[in-house]
Amino acid sequence: MTSPNIASWTINGLVTAPVTPFNENGNVNFDLFDSYAGQIKDHGIKNLFVNGTTGEALSMTVDERKSVAEKWMEVGKSRFEKIIVHVGTGNYMESMQLAKHAESIGADGIACVAPSYLIPLRMEDYVNYIAKVASAAPNTAFFLYDINFLTGINLSVTEFFKKAKSQIPTLKGLKHTSPQLDSIHRVLTDHPDMIMMMGTNDLFLEGLVLGCKTTICDSFLGHVLSNTKEAFDKGDVGRARACQKRALDLMTVRRQMELTVPGGSKAILRCLGLAVGQPRLPVAPMTESEENLLKEFLKEIGFFEWYMEKLQ
């Protein structure tokens, strides 16, 4: 039987996937978490999705990921409504360890992406793998993490839910990090009981039109995307488009500079004065000249003027 707490589990407001701060030696900089959490809160973010792609989870050891999750719980539990811990790895044994640990420290939810090297080719194998991971945290809400353009797993999410609901009693929804809006449409239509969290900065408005309520975004776009949703909810589609365009402009800059997910997010945070360090290899560090160029691009699109602007 599903726990009553899981049955009534819901999420309100935006979610951010924080980066993992590293120091100059490439070790986790735990001293920065408290001030970073405060900055996230100042951006209007209500929830965290930790140890995800932006957090460079798969570039960290299992022990590091446990320590990072513990630190986010320490500095974030009183600041944020929900903290979801991502536990995906390249094998179910480590993911089960991380899932059990996340439940033991009081995480509000866990999420898991399937392996991206030896990938599941059949839906049966996909469901069985995810169910095995979820079973390690039987009292914690569980979310599938679908990021198909990185994993190469192109199995239908809506079909996954059809088969997985009977095997995963804690299943509550998914993080949908894919530009395939038809997949979002199908999930929302076929599985209205599942919570849909987008994983995008620049397609949030399109998701709102389809019926999404939240997205997992970069923290520095918290006000921009909150403004987008507020305008949309008021029926002011023109204003919503204008707000969303700012996220699109920022994505254009990231693409022009060929910035990766963690590398680009960290670079922008450094431009805002937060010493989160460089990403770990194989993601290349940014040179000083590249960072100066990024600052110029950010100035050109007005980023430093509007990223903290609240809708009036």
What residues are labeled active site? Answer: 145, 175
Give binding residues as ranges.
54, 216
Can you tell me the distance from the alpha carbon of 253 to that of 30, in angstroms, rounded to the nearest whole number? 30
Binding residues for pyruvate: 54, 216
One-letter amino acid identity for 28? V
From the list 152, 136, 129, 230, the residue with the least C-alpha distance to 144 is 129
